[in-house]
């Protein structure tokens, strides 16, 4: 059982996860508080750091109340924590180790979590383990399978390696080929903005001001989807036609003449890197995402609209087009990767990160895979609460690393940058501070 902490960005998260002897897994506690950054209209690192300092202690305290009760006949005094609960003092099972996000992320924010984790480990005299946040995103579907079906399939977390992951969040856009616990090859990544960041910024340009001021948080891209497809339960195929190689772009099916005229004449967003790049080969282009150009085109389209500005119909079309262009760009790199990995036989694509909750993205990915001959590739979308930043994924990665024999030295420092691909520089195991507890203990 591990208690896990995640503070890499603006979410203060704590979880308690236990893997039982029969391999079934229980999430005893999983909570998050997101700092309120609305006045800045985006994540403001100092505000988020303050929020971690104010909230983390309280969340850890709350998490302790959810630790399982240790029955006195099997309790060893060193394995229990005496905690005062509503019905007097409870003897609770102590976590076997502490897991915490060590990086990548905002350095000061990481330090709040890391130092708290070290404090708990020292006070309770248990080991601690510094986890790579991106590795944790990649392993999330295995946590989901452990929570859902482990007892029926006790030896294997799913998907089994190898599998592909598309990590699409506010801070990252990455296509990763995971071949084992610590081997994650980055097949494509963004050279500028993350897709979530670009959509948040574009949403600020597209959405009417009254919607922006009433937003519950700064995840404006979520609002953008709701605005673009207000009646999502009735959306069937989005009128979407996936691009077919070698044929000109076809306009989406839309019943409204006004919509068709806007789409046909008034403006268009061109796809990232569609004109190529004289400095990069075709192969190299397939390994990069670029989103800032989409964001600046959207800004220009809105700014160049003559007064009184866009009405709701046109704003909605612009919202849909922004998402379409961004998601087709993601899909195009997925197809290139699947084509070059045909021999590996990857049959699963995991899509995680906050943007993965977008239904239009799911639709575009599925239809693009189908028309390109990858109908048999399964798409996995972990539930949104587990694929946005959370501590349950840190706990799970802690457990997988723990079982493989890894612990961290108490002297490790936070890492603002920490690649997961050994080819990029370092990789998960390429940083200092790892202790290998059990030589020869291999993860299966």
> Hunting for tokens 């501070």 — which residue is that?
433
Contact pick of 109, 132, 189, 357 for ligand AMP (by CB under 6 A): 357
Residue range at the interface with ligand AMP (CB under 6 A); choices 22-30, 49-57, 194-202, 227-235: 194-202
Q: How far is the CB of 169 from ligand AMP (least distance, A)?
A: 3
Cis before 408? omega within 30: no
196 binds ligand AMP (CB under 6 A): yes
358 binds ligand AMP (CB under 6 A): yes
Size of the site for ligand AMP (CB under 6 A): 18
Q: How far is the CB of 358 from ligand AMP (least distance, A)?
A: 3
Helices in 19-165 by DSSP H: which ranges? 45-64, 107-124, 133-149
Sheet with 348-352, side-by-side order of all strands? 288-289, 183-190, 173-180, 163-168, 348-352, 378-380
Contact pick of 170, 295, 382, 427 for ligand AMP (by CB under 6 A): 170
Strand pairing of 348-352 and 378-380?
A: parallel
Residue range at the interface with ligand AMP (CB under 6 A); choices 57-65, 85-93, 215-223, 408-416: 215-223
141 binds ligand AMP (CB under 6 A): no
> Hunting for tokens 């392993």 — which residue is that?
139
Neighbouring C-beta atoms of residue 72, cutoff 10 Å: 8
Contact pick of 18, 314, 328, 389 for ligand AMP (by CB under 6 A): 389
What is the number of the residue whose Cβ is closest to ligand AMP? Answer: 354
Q: Closest CB to ligand AMP among 178 and 358? A: 358
Contact pick of 225, 321, 400, 421 for ligand AMP (by CB under 6 A): 225
Cβ burial of 203 (10 Å; 0-12, 13-18, 19+) is: buried
Could you say which residues in the range 317-356 bind ligand AMP, by CB under 6 A?
A: 353-355
Return the C-alpha torsion angle 406, 412, 418, 421, nearest 10. -30
Q: Closest CB to ligand AMP among 37 and 305? A: 37
Residue range at the interface with ligand AMP (CB under 6 A); choices 63-71, 104-112, 214-222, 280-288: 214-222
Q: How far is the CB of 433 from ligand AMP (least distance, A)?
A: 26
Q: How far is the CB of 230 from ligand AMP (least distance, A)?
A: 13
Q: Closest CB to ligand AMP among 164 and 221? A: 221
Q: Which pair of structure tokens corresponds to residue 47?
A: 């505000």
Residue range at the interface with ligand AMP (CB under 6 A); choices 45-53, 150-158, 216-224, 291-299: 216-224
Distances (CA, A) of 294 to 268, 289, 301, 319, 407: 11, 11, 11, 12, 43
| CA–CA gap between residue 411 and residue 433 (Å, rounded) | 7
| CA–CA gap between residue 144 and residue 159 (Å, rounded) | 10
First-residue to last-residue Cα distance in the chain:
19
Q: Which residues bind ligand AMP (CB under 6 A)?
A: 169-171, 196, 199-200, 219-222, 225, 353-355, 357-358, 388-389
């Amino acid at each position: 059982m591990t208690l896990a902490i995640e503070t890499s960005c603006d979410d203060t998260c704590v979880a308690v996860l236990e893997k039982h002897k029969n391999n079934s897994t229980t999430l005893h506690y999983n909570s998050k508080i997101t700092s309120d950054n609305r006045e800045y209209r985006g994540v403001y690192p100092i505000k988020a750091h303050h929020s971690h300092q104010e909230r983390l202690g309280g969340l850890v305290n709350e998490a302790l109340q959810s630790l399982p009760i240790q029955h006195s006949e099997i309790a060893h005094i060193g394995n229990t924590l005496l905690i005062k609960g509503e019905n007097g003092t409870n003897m609770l099972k102590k976590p076997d180790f502490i897991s915490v996000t060590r990086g990548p992320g905002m350095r000061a924010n990481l330090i709040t979590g890391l130092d708290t984790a070290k404090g708990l480990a020292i006070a309770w005299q248990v080991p601690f383990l510094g986890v790579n946040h991106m590795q944790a995103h990649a392993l999330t579907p295995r946590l989901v399978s452990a929570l859902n079906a482990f007892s029926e399939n006790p030896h294997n977390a799913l998907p089994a390696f190898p599998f592909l992951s598309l990590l699409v969040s506010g801070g990252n856009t990455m296509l990763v080929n995971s071949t084992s616990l610590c081997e994650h090859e980055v097949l494509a990544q963004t050279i500028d903005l993350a897709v979530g960041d670009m959509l948040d910024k574009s949403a600020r340009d597209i959405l009417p001001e009254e919607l922006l001021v009433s937003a519950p948080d700064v995840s404006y891209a979520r609002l953008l989807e709701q605005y673009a497809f207000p009646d999502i339960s009735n959306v069937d195929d989005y009128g979407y036609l996936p691009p077919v190689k070698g044929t000109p772009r076809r306009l989406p099916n839309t019943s409204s003449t006004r919509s068709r005229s806007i789409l046909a004449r008034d403006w268009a967003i061109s796809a990232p890197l569609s004109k190529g790049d004289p400095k990069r080969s075709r192969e190299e282009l397939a390994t990069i995402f670029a989103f800032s150009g989409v964001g600046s085109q959207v800004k220009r389209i809105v700014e160049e609209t003559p007064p009184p500005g866009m009405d709701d119909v046109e704003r909605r079309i612009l919202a849909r087009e922004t998402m379409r262009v961004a998601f087709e760009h993601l899909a195009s790199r997925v197809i290139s990767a699947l084509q070059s990995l045909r021999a590996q036989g990857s049959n699963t694509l995991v899509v995680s990160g906050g943007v993965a909750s977008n239904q239009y993205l799911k639709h575009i990915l599925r239809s693009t895979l189908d028309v390109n001959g990858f109908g048999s590739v399964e798409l996995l979308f972990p539930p949104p609460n587990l694929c946005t930043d959370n501590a349950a994924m840190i706990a799970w990665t802690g457990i997988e690393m723990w079982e493989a024999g890894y612990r961290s030295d108490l002297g490790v420092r936070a890492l603002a940058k920490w690649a997961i691909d050994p080819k990029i520089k370092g990789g998960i195991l390429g940083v200092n501070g790892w202790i290998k507890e059990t030589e020869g203990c291999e993860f299966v």
